[in-house]
Amino acid sequence: MGISDREYIRTTNRSYGGGGGGFGWDVIGRIIAVTVVAYVLQLLIVPGFTDWFELSTSDVLHGQVWRLLSYDFLHGLGSLWHILINMYLLYCAGSRLLENHSQKEFLLFYLSAGIAAGISYVLWQLFRGERNPAVGASGSVSAVLVLYAMYWPRARWMIFGIIPVPVIVIVIVMLAFDLHPVLLELGGGGQSTDRVAHIAHLGGMLFGFAYYRFQWRFEPLVADLSWQTLRRRFRRRPKLRVHQPAGEESRFDMQARMDELLEKISREGEASLTPEERETLNRISRQLRTRKA
């Protein structure tokens, strides 16, 4: 077996395009880009930028729920390593996860993991009676690493560039480092002084494990939330209705249903239709042709 075949040396053929061989930006590139832009805005001390979007328990309780997501794209300014390590781990683990997940599914997983980590932190702050704000993508990145380790536990990562270590071992060590200070605080051993939101990391890890264990998928839940679908659902219905015999569909309802099925074909391909949906499409087409005749 050659060195290029070893699991800890293997590279992916992923391009940044999400399809095709040309250069572009896939979902991981976009997440990193948004995070870096947000960090630059923090560095430029844009008035109130960090204050507007950091995870503040008090502000979340007063209705500013966007902070449960926006904090995930901010980082501490005291050390450049905070954002560098997070983005590097996101790139390494996320790149291979795109083999198993679509671009949209990975994005929904990443954002949901950030929200889960944020909720964990807010609940911990309430339990401890504290109100310290938090920033950082570590909760989401922890979820990404756990999901990676669940799929490929024997994959080896090079530590310090020379020591191959199974990724499951890396995750277990990270879990121990985050769990220890939390248990110490619960046992009355004093508050951690490293200014790290360990509970957010644990929340992200738990979310990543649950996502794998229960085979959650978020993309089907939002598959129909396109602008065209929302516009059809909320557009004004005609006030005057033509009387029709019981059991017959109106032309308006049939056309709306046909539009939904055609949009699904455009979005996911004809093979995505279920047998029932295919039969419905054929039936409506026949009925519309008959009425036009």
- Give the chain's domain count: 2
Nearest to 135 by CA among 200, 84, 192, 210: 200
Phi, then psi, of 157 in degrees rounded to 5: -110, 145
Rounded to an integer, what distance in angstroms lies between the CA atom of residue 197 and that of residue 215? 27
User: 30 and 8 in one domain?
Assistant: yes
Segment among 35-44, 214-223, 280-289 with least mean pLDDT: 280-289
pLDDT digits over 55-106, tens only?
Answer: 999 999 999 999 999 999 999 998 899 999 999 999 999 999 999 999 999 9
User: 241 and 101 in one domain?
Assistant: no
Burial class of residue 129 in the structure, from the number of CB atoms within 10 Å of its CB (0-12 exposed, 13-18 middle, 19+ buried): exposed
User: 202 and 237 in one domain?
Assistant: no
Instruction: Out of 221, 254, 279, pick the residue that ends a domain.
Output: 221
User: 20 and 51 in one domain?
Assistant: yes
* Per-residue pLDDT at 112: 98
Q: Which residues pair with 158 in a beta bridge?
A: 164
Range of the domain at 123: 3-221
Residue 23 or 111, more confident = 111
Burial class of residue 211 in the structure, from the number of CB atoms within 10 Å of its CB (0-12 exposed, 13-18 middle, 19+ buried): buried
* Per-residue pLDDT at 229: 61
Segment among 58-62, 196-200, 265-269 with least mean pLDDT: 265-269
Residue 8 or 91, more confident = 91
* Per-residue pLDDT at 17: 40
Query: Sign of the CA dihedral 19, 39, 75, 158?
Result: positive
Rounded to an integer, what distance in angstroms lies between the CA atom of residue 217 and that of residue 55? 26
pLDDT interval class at 9 (50, 70, 90): very low
Mean pLDDT in residue range 272-285: 79
Q: Percent of the chain scored above 90 by pLDDT?
A: 59
User: 206 and 109 in one domain?
Assistant: yes
User: 277 and 190 in one domain?
Assistant: no
pLDDT digits over 124-178, tens only?
Answer: 999 999 999 999 999 999 999 999 999 999 999 988 788 999 999 999 999 999 9
Q: What is the value of pTM for the model shown?
A: 0.73
Tokens of 185: 């605080």
User: 231 and 179 in one domain?
Assistant: no
Nearest to 208 by CA among 91, 102, 113: 113
Residue 38 or 227, more confident = 38
* Per-residue pLDDT at 213: 97
User: 133 and 79 in one domain?
Assistant: yes
Residue 117 has pLDDT above 50, yes or no: yes
Instruction: Out of 221, 238, 264, pick the residue that ends a domain.
Output: 221
Question: In the 8-state DSSP scheme, what is residue 188?
Answer: T
CA distances from 141 to 14, 117, 289, 292 (A): 19, 10, 54, 56
* Per-residue pLDDT at 55: 98
Rounded to an integer, what distance in angstroms lies between the CA atom of residue 281 and that of residue 125? 53
User: 234 and 189 in one domain?
Assistant: no
User: 275 and 139 in one domain?
Assistant: no
Nearest to 200 by CA among 278, 107, 125, 293: 125
User: 72 and 99 in one domain?
Assistant: yes
Q: How many CB atoms lie within 10 A of CB 236?
A: 5
pLDDT interval class at 237 (50, 70, 90): low
Report the CATH number that the domain containing residue 129 is assigned in CATH: 1.20.1540.10
Instruction: Out of 196, 221, 246, pick the residue that ends a domain.
Output: 221
User: 119 and 65 in one domain?
Assistant: yes
Residue 190 or 63, more confident = 63
How many CA atoms within 13 Å lie on the side-chain side of 253?
8
Rounded to an integer, what distance in angstroms lies between the CA atom of residue 131 and that of residue 126? 8
